[in-house]
């Protein structure tokens, strides 16, 4: 596509060209209605069809069992950091802290109940995912919370702990739809949409039905899971356009072969970058090998000034947003589902030129 660059942003991030083209085609008049989806009533027949289709294709793609509910919420993943304890934290909960967002989720929950931080990776600079055998859970906890992919540090859980009867609740904001998972291993999965699910303004919550109970009395109606389910995510006006974009992203994923295919592509893309990083001595990867994320690849050059130069020179060559998060510095290449392998190959080519120019 003309004028398109490779956008390595951590979120909001790149959308597939195919998705943007379809949205463009339908922007002024959706399906001969003479109006844009942006202008439609959320209660109209045509919009309700979009809504249902989106929900159904998410269920198909992720193979979501019947005993799970899909909810579309406001407030992004940060909104869920609060709604989760308001709905599910009756007594106490275990939180695993492997990065900034899991820490934020725990701090939010602390406002509403007892939170036990059963692991905190700050001593290793959040460069790894703990070994499952080293984790133990409070058998009386209402739930265990973790973040599947640590967007800032570039680490990702490869497998998840077996928490027995305690529901495992996972923030998948930055790796949902990137690989096959078994939904029934989790009590609840949630994600902000602006990485692999489309655009900002929407959070998706997939929750086992038996966990939807009475929320704390203080819970704002808009965060109440039982109310949300009862109203099929339309207690008020939902994020209509974000939901429509999610539908387009899901359609594209189904067309290319679903999660099996995208997982293969994601493994192949990440391999190109990590293989390169492992065979040179100029760039230093942040994440430890067995904890590496398929979505966010983090590394540094020998000098913060070179990091900045790297990001700015790459930007001039059509590869944008490579500057690392301020908490870790360095460089971060976010290679979500929509990033084509060509973008990764181009980046590695640039990395090698930059290395040759600056290595001493």
Ligand X SMILES: Cc1ncc(COP(=O)(O)O)c(C=O)c1O
For binding to ligand X (CB under 6 A), which residues are involved? 11, 76-78, 101, 147, 151, 171, 173-174, 192
Q: How far is the CB of 105 from ligand X (least distance, A)?
A: 8
Where does residue 207 rank: exposed (0-12), middle (13-18), buried (19+ CB within 10 A)?
buried
Which residue number, 199 or 311, has a Cβ lying nearer to ligand X? 199
Q: How far is the CB of 140 from ligand X (least distance, A)?
A: 27
Which residue number, 30 or 171, has a Cβ lying nearer to ligand X? 171
User: Can you read off the two tokens belonging to residue 182?
Assistant: 């078994």
What span, in angstroms and rounded, lies between the C-alpha atoms of 158 and 108? 26
User: Can you read off the two tokens belonging to residue 144?
Assistant: 């265990």
User: Can you read off the two tokens belonging to residue 59?
Assistant: 């269920």
Which residue number, 40 or 77, has a Cβ lying nearer to ligand X? 77
Q: How far is the CB of 103 from ligand X (least distance, A)?
A: 11
What span, in angstroms and rounded, lies between the C-alpha atoms of 260 and 280? 31
Q: How far is the CB of 195 from ligand X (least distance, A)?
A: 7
14 DSSP 8-state letter: -
Which residue number, 155 or 301, has a Cβ lying nearer to ligand X? 155
Asked whether 147 and 99 are in contact (CB, 8 A), the reply is: yes
Q: How far is the CB of 74 from ligand X (least distance, A)?
A: 10
Which residue number, 78 or 313, has a Cβ lying nearer to ligand X? 78
Q: How far is the CB of 166 from ligand X (least distance, A)?
A: 21
Which residue number, 174 or 300, has a Cβ lying nearer to ligand X? 174
253 DSSP 8-state letter: H
Q: How far is the CB of 108 from ligand X (least distance, A)?
A: 11
Which residue number, 130 or 192, has a Cβ lying nearer to ligand X? 192
Which residue number, 151 or 337, has a Cβ lying nearer to ligand X? 151
Please give the full DSSP string across 26-47, using - where no structure is assigned: HSSSGGGSSS-GGGS-TTSHHH
Cα-Cα-Cα-Cα torsion 141, 145, 146, 152, nearest 10 degrees, comes to -130
Residue 199 CB neighbour total at 10 angstroms: 21
Q: How far is the CB of 13 from ligand X (least distance, A)?
A: 10
Residue 31 CB neighbour total at 10 angstroms: 11
What span, in angstroms and rounded, lies between the C-alpha atoms of 34 and 239? 21
Helix H or strand E encompassing 171: strand 168-171
Q: How far is CA 144 from CA 12, 106, 166, in A?
A: 27, 11, 7
């Amino acid at each position: 596509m003309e004028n398109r660059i490779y956008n390595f942003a951590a979120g909001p991030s790149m959308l597939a060209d195919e998705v943007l083209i379809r949205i463009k085609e339908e922007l002024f008049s959706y399906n001969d209605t003479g109006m844009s989806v942006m202008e439609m009533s959320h209660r109209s027949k045509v919009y309700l069809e979009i809504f249902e289709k989106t929900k159904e294709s998410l269920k198909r793609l992720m193979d979501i069992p019947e005993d799970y509910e899909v909810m579309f919420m406001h407030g992004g993943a940060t909104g869920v950091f609060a709604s989760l304890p308001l709905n599910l934290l009756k007594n106490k909960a275990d939180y695993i802290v492997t990065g900034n967002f899991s820490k934020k989720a725990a701090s939010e929950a602390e406002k509403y109940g007892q939170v036990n931080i059963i692991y905190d990776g700050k001593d290793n600079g959040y460069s790894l995912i703990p070994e499952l055998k080293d984790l133990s859970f409070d058998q009386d906890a209402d739930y265990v919370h973790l973040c599947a992919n640590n967007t800032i540090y570039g680490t990702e859980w490869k497998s998840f702990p077996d928490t027995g009867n305690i529901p495992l609740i996972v923030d998948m904001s930055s790796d949902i739809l990137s690989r096959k998972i078994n939904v029934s291993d989790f009590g609840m999965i949630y994600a902000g949409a602006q990485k692999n699910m489309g655009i900002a303004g929407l959070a998706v919550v997939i929750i086992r039905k038996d966990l939807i109970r009475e929320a704390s009395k203080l819970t704002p109606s808009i965060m109440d899971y039982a109310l949300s389910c009862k109203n099929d995510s339309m207690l008020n006006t939902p994020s209509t356009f974000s939901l429509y974009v999610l539908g387009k992203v899901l359609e594209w994923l189904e067309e290319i072969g679903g999660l099996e295919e995208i997982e293969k592509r994601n493994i192949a893309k990440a391999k190109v970058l990590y293989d390169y990083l492992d065979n040179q001595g100029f760039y230093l990867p942040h994440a430890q090998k067995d904890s590496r994320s398929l979505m966010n690849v983090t590394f540094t050059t020998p000098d913060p000034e070179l990091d900045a130069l790297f990001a700015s020179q790459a930007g001039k060559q059509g590869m944008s947003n490579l500057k690392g998060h301020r908490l870790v510095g360095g460089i971060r290449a976010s290679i979500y589902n929509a990033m084509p392998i060509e973008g990764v190959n181009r980046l590695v080519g640039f990395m090698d030129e930059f290395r040759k120019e600056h290595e001493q």
